[in-house]
Amino acid sequence: MNDLKQFLRDLNQAWQDQRFDDLGEYFHPAVTMMAPGSSSPMVGAESMVASYREFTSMCTVHSCDIGEITLYEYPGVTFAHLRFEIDYELDDERSQAAGVELYAIDTSGAKPQVVYRTQIQR
């Protein structure tokens, strides 16, 4: 269980450090994400990595704090709730957001991979 919590912490550290070449390994090739406010899902590990790259190129992240991670384990899949708070600047406007990232993680293979992700903002 602690290994999956560290997996999610490492995933989040990778995008904050802009280690985009490393980021793809965390995602299943057919990962799906429904972004907040979106009407259609984003599909594929390359699209997921591109979304992190785009976000970090458009803004300055002043802080991103990962809080409590709760895991719900089942054979072959684990669901995770990861609480976060982020402080960032976009187009000279400073913003803060907080919420929960929801992940479905395939644990049936040699290494875990995110197969689904979405975000609920408070």
Residue ranges of domains in the chain: 2-121
pTM, two decimal places: 0.93
CATH number, span 2-121: 3.10.450.50
Task: Please count the other Cβ atoms lying within 10 Å of the Cβ belonging to residue 79.
Answer: 14
Residue among 57, 109, 119 at smallest CA distance from 88? 57
Check: CB of residue 82 under 8 Å from CB of residue 100: yes
**Model confidence pLDDT, tens digit, residues 12-25:** 999 999 999 999 99
Whether the predicted pLDDT of 37 surpasses 90: no
